[in-house]
């Protein structure tokens, strides 16, 4: 990791030492080439996903028997009206994919925010108070970790109708334990710091100490790492759709498009593969950004930046 | 030896507590399912009185805690109950109304049939994972910032971005359908394990690769490793005795944490490949509202998680005596 460290050093020299660790972390992440690649890839994909379906006058759900199994534009028989061709019902695959991308992004963003809030709340409470509260909360966390996410998700979503809200809830239920553990361990050392003890002596309430004084110090580094979870949750959203308990048709999602196209693997191979390629590219963008942030965080912990 | 025993007893108590919480949680969620499981057993034609009688007999009208302790009592005696929907031969029964309770497959037998298949799949997947992540991860750790590190970074980022079910479909399309190299759907021999294992390995390897790279780089940077070179100790010895030994503990811990993810991966991959293991059994059980099978599967995976994490802690302390229990 010599190259990033060198470039980071120059970034650090430009600014004064007084800039905070969070700003330094972001600067170190941005200094890496892979971060920029990921950012460009992601911007392009998200931009297309939110602009193209509005510009192109093509419906995502209109069935057209005459245009079934049209191949993508680069193959013989394809045309530019349907860039990725059409599916088994003659619906435009490109617009369906992009709308699926919109849905996946919104759901995963919401669930990451929610799991962060749940996990941080539980972790901070357990770490701050310690004692039996800590024991109870951490045993719950361990128990949650012991259930495979998928088992929990399919059990819950067969009980409850798979509305977007229920899906967000399930995804965040599956992800909060990691955040609870990390926040707790940081909180354990933070609560002994001078400023916390001082605030206590001055009579500040626990809620105020935790939310106004400790949280701004310990949460941002955890938040940066949450970037990687956005990608993980997008995969999970797609898996749920794939086994039929994601957002229900006719709304297109990656999972349902690929699951439906699975039966046409031989005579319409683009139907399951092309949407997956877009999902892959989006995940790659997020993961490149996330990995750079994580690398920057490791440098920060080592004191290299 | 005394503290070892003490440690084991404490961890065992914690583990049992975790298993109890998990099994009660799943049990309670399942009891809130709309739709009567008795209807699934007896079929839509059964009259209300028969449904009620069967429900009474199965204990489905008791309060949830009563049902739970009843179930728990049987579990302790090694009885996980009978499947609601699977017949003795393993197929879903067509003439459900004519079957008595004893015609249904025992959950223990279903699990006993499925688990070895999944162990075979998970084992092969771990071998593939190690084949991918150990060379790349170690090289990336030793030459951090240089070419191997970059390669590992990109391979890891690409692998972690591949959705597993999509990867499975693409492999079926290319390797099985187009190139005709490996069979894939169902199970008729060991060859059917390879493609599913590859998919799981692609999913798991980036996690281990990155962790391995980070921990090896960390150890490599330590003063004592740098000093050994000065003392004239050869690199193979430094590597095996000092770097590997110190870098193993974080990887082992990671493995313990990732057991849940491994199981999730196995589940979805078995579903796509129609591989007759633990995961397929669970997915089918959920779609058929087969409570006893779901409970058995959840219990088993929680126990697996607890046992593996205990083993991880034990092996870690054996490798690194500085860790205390």
Tokens encoding A187: 């909180």
CB-nearest to A143 from B21, B29, B294 is B21
Kindly calculate the radius of gyration of chain A based on its CA atoms and give it in whole angstroms.
Answer: 23
Residue A70 per-residue DSSP state: P
Instruction: Report residue B105: phi and psi, to 5°.
Output: -65, 145
Q: Report chain B residues whose CB lies below 8 A from the CB of A2.
A: 144-146
Residue-wise pLDDT for A70-111, tens only, equals 777 777 776 777 777 777 777 878 888 899 999 999 999 999
CA distance A37 to A41: 6
Which residues from B are below 8 Å from A238, CB to CB? 163, 165-166
Nearest to B166 among A149, A158, A279 (CB): A279
**C-alpha to C-alpha distance for A282 and A97, rounded to whole angstroms:** 12
B133: closest CA of chain A, how far (Å): 17
Q: What is the SS3 assignment for A63?
A: coil
Q: Which residues of B touch A283 (CB under 8 A)?
A: 160-163
Pairwise CA distance, residues A296 & A290, whole Å: 10
Q: Whole-angstrom Cα distance, residue A25 to residue A46?
A: 25
What is the reported pLDDT for A94?
86
Contact assignment for B286 to A287 by CB distance below 8 Å = no
Which of chain A's residues have a Cβ under 8 Å away from the Cβ of B165?
238-239, 242, 258
Identify whether B8 is part of a domain.
no
Residues 6+ apart with CB under 8 A from B16: none
CA–CA dist B308, B305 (Å, integer): 5
For chain B, say whether A225 makes contact (Cβ under 8 Å): no
* Residue with tokens 């162990």, as numbered in its chain: B119
Which residues 108-137 in chain A show a CB within 8 A of chain B? none
Residues in chain A: 305
**Interchain contact, A287 vs B157, CB within 8 Å:** yes
Nearest Cα residue in chain B from A237:
B163
Interface test with B, best of A147, A153, A178 (most B CBs within 10 A): A147
Residue A227 has pLDDT above 60, yes or no: yes
- Asked if the structure places residue B196 within a domain, the reply is yes
Range of the domain at B163: 112-268
* % of chain B exceeding 90 in pLDDT: 15
Of B11, B12, B16, B18, which to mutate for an interface test with A (greatest number of A Cβ within 10 Å)? B18
Work out how many CB contacts closer than 8 A connect A with B: 142
Distance, CA of B131 to CA of B125 (rounded, Å): 10
Query: In terms of CA atoms, which chain B residue is nearest residue A4?
Result: B145
Residues from chain A contacting residue B305 (CB–CB below 8 Å): 145-146
Helix, strand and coil in chain B, % to nearest 5: 75, 5, 20
Query: Where would I find the beta strands (DSSP E) of chain B?
Result: 82-87, 104-106
- A145, A154, A291 member nearest B283 (Cβ): A154
CA end-to-end span of chain A: 13
pTM exceeding the 0.80 threshold for the entire prediction: yes
pLDDT in tens, A50-63: 888 888 777 777 77
Q: What is the 3-state secondary structure (H, E, C) of chain B?
A: CHHHHHHHHHHHHHHHHHHHHHHHHHHHHHHCCCCCHHHHHHCCCCCHHHHHHHHHHHCCCCCHHHHHHHHHHHHHCCCCCEEEEEECCCCECCCHHHCCHHHEEEHHHHHHHHHHHHHHHHHHHHHHHHHHHHHHHHHHHHCCCCHHHHHHHHHHHHHHCCCHHHHHHHHHHHHHHHCCCCCCCCCCCCHHHHHHHHHHHHHHHHHHHHHHHHHHHHHHHCHHHHHHHHHCCCHHHHHHHHHHHHHHHHHHHHHHHHHHHHHHHHHHHHHHHCCCCHHHHHHHHHHCCCHHHHHHHHHHHHHHHHHHHHHHHHHHHHHCCCCCC
Let me know if residue B81 belongs to a domain.
no
Is residue B151 in some structural domain? yes
Does position B171 have pLDDT exceeding 50, yes or no? yes
Q: Is the peptide bond before A265 cis (omega within 30 degrees of 0)?
A: no
Confidence of residue B34 (pLDDT cuts 50, 70, 90): low
Nearest to B33 among A3, A158, A262 (CB): A158
- Residue A287: its chain B contacts at CB < 8 A? 157, 160-161
B111 - beta bridge partners? none
- Cα–Cα distance, A303 to B14 (Å, whole number): 37
pLDDT band at residue B88 using 50, 70 and 90 as cut-offs: low
Condensed to tens digits (0 to 9), the pLDDT of residues B249-291 reads: 778 878 877 887 788 888 889 998 999 988 888 888 877 778 8
Task: Give the relative orientation of helices A164-190 and A93-129 as an angle to the nearest 10 degrees.
Answer: 30
On the 0-12 / 13-18 / 19+ scale of CB atoms within 10 A, A120 is buried
Q: Does A239 touch chain B (CB under 8 A)?
A: yes
Which of A139, A148, A158 has its CB closest to that of B264? A148
CA distance A230 to chain B (A): 11
Whether B25 sits inside 8 A of A147 (CB atoms) is yes
Token pair 């139907």 is found at: A271
How far is B38 from B27, CA to CA, in rounded Å? 16
Residues of chain A positioned with their CB less than 8 A from the CB of B11:
none
A167: Cα within 13 Å, side-chain hemisphere: 26
In a domain? residue B71: no
Q: What is the pLDDT of residues B192-244, one digit of tens each?
A: 889 999 999 999 999 889 888 888 888 887 777 778 878 878 788 888 777 88
Mean pLDDT of B71-94: 72
Contact A197, A214 (CB under 8 A): no
Chain A residues within an 8 Å CB radius of B14: 139, 142
């050869």: which residue's tokens? Answer: B234
A301 and chain B in contact, CB less than 8 A: no
In B, which residues are within 8 Å of A1 by CB distance? 144-145, 149, 217
* Dihedral angle, C-alpha A158, A163, A169, A171, nearest 10 °: 70
Assigned domain for B170 exists: yes
Q: Does B320 map to a domain?
A: no
| A159 vs B: CB within 8 A | yes
The predicted model gives A163-169 an average pLDDT of 90
Q: What confidence tier does B57 reach under pLDDT thresholds 50, 70, 90?
A: confident
Helix (H) or strand (E) holding A18: none
Question: Is the distance from CB of A253 to CB of A247 less than 8 angstroms?
Answer: yes
Residues of A in contact with B33 (CB under 8 A): 158-159
Q: What is the pLDDT of residue B196?
A: 93
| Nearest CB to B173; choose among A34, A269, A284 | A269
Which chain A residue's Cα is nearest to B263? A148
Check if A158 contacts B (Cβ < 8 Å).
yes
Kindly determine whether residue B161 and residue A231, on different chains, have CB atoms separated by under 8 Å: yes
At A117-159, the pLDDT tens digits run 999 999 999 988 888 998 889 888 888 877 777 777 877 887 7
Residue B43 lies in a domain: no
Highest mean pLDDT out of A52-66, B85-99, B151-165: B151-165
Q: Give SS3 for A92.
A: strand
Q: At residue A86, what are phi and psi to the nearest 5 degrees?
A: -130, 165
Average pLDDT over residues B117-122: 91
Cβ within 8 Å, pair B165-A239? yes
**Residue closest to A100 by CA, chosen among A164, A49, A61, A64:** A49
Are the CB atoms for B146 and A2 separated by under 8 Å?
yes
C-alpha B80/C-alpha B265 separation (Å) is: 25
Please count the structural domains in chain B. 1
């Amino acid at each position: 990791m010599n190259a990033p460290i060198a470039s980071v050093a120059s970034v650090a020299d430009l600014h004064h030492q007084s800039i905070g660790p969070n700003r330094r972390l972001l600067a170190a992440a941005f200094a890496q080439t892979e971060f920029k690649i990921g950012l460009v890839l992601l911007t392009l994909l998200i931009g297309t996903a939110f602009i193209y379906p509005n510009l192109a006058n093509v419906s995502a759900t209109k069935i057209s028997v005459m245009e079934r199994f049209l191949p993508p534009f680069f193959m013989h028989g394809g045309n530019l009206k349907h860039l990725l061709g059409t599916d088994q019902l003659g619906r435009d695959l490109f617009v369906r994919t992009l709308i699926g991308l919109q849905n996946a992004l919104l759901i995963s963003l919401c669930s990451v925010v929610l799991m962060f809030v749940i996990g941080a709340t539980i972790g901070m409470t357990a770490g701050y108070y310690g004692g039996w509260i800590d024991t109870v909360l951490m045993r719950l966390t361990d128990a949650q970790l012991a259930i495979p996410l998928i088992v929990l998700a399919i059990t819950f979503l067969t009980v409850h109708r798979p509305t977007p809200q229920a899906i967000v809830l399930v995804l965040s239920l599956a992800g909060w334990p990691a955040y609870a553990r990390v926040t707790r361990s940081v909180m354990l050392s933070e609560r002994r710091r001078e400023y916390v003890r001082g605030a206590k002596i001055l009579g500040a309430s626990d809620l105020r100490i935790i939310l106004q004084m400790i949280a701004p110090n310990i949460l941002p580094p955890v938040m940066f790492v949450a970037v990687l979870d956005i990608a993980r949750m997008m995969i999970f959203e797609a898996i749920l759709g794939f086994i039929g308990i994601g957002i229900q048709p006719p709304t297109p999602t990656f999972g349902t498009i690929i699951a439906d196209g699975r039966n046409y693997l031989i005579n319409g191979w683009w139907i399951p593969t092309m949407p997956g390629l877009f999902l892959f590219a989006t995940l790659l963008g997020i993961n490149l950004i996330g990995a750079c942030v994580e690398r920057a965080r490791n440098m920060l912990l080592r004191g290299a930046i | 030896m005394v503290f070892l025993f003490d440690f084991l007893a404490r961890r065992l108590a914690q583990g049992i507590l975790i298993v109890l919480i998990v099994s009660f949680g799943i049990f309670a969620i399942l009891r809130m399912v709309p739709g009567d499981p008795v209807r699934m057993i007896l079929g839509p034609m059964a009259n209300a009185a028969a449904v009620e009688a069967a429900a009474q007999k199965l204990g489905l009208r008791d309060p949830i805690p009563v049902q739970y302790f009843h179930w728990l009592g049987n579990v302790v005696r090694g009885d996980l109950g009978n499947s609601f929907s699977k017949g003795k031969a393993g197929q879903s029964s067509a003439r459900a109304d004519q079957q008595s309770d004893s015609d249904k497959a025992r959950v223990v037998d279903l699990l006993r049939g499925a688990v070895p298949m999944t162990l075979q799949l998970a084992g092969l997947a771990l071998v593939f994972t190690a084949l991918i992540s150990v060379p790349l991860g170690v090289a990336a750790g030793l030459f951090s910032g240089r070419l191997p590190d970059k390669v590992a970074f990109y391979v890891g980022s690409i692998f972690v971005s591949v959705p597993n079910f999509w990867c499975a479909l693409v492999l079926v399309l290319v390797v099985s359908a187009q190139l005709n190299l490996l069979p894939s759907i169902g199970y008729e021999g060991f060859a059917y394990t390879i493609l599913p294992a590859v998919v799981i390995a692609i999913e798991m390897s980036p996690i281990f690769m990155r962790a391995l790279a980070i921990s090896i780089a960390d150890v490599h940077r330590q003063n004592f490793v740098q000093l050994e070179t000065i003392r004239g100790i050869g690199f193979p010895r430094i590597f095996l005795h000092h770097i590997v030994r110190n870098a193993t503990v974080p990887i082992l811990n990671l493995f313990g944490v990732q057991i849940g993810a491994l199981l999730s991966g196995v589940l979805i991959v078995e579903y796509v490949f129609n591989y007759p293991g633990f995961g397929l059994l669970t997915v089918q059980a959920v779609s058929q509202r087969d409570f006893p099978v779901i409970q058995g599967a959840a219990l088993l995976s929680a126990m697996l998680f607890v046992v593996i994490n205990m083993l991880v802690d034990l092996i870690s302390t054996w490798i690194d005596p500085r860790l205390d229990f």
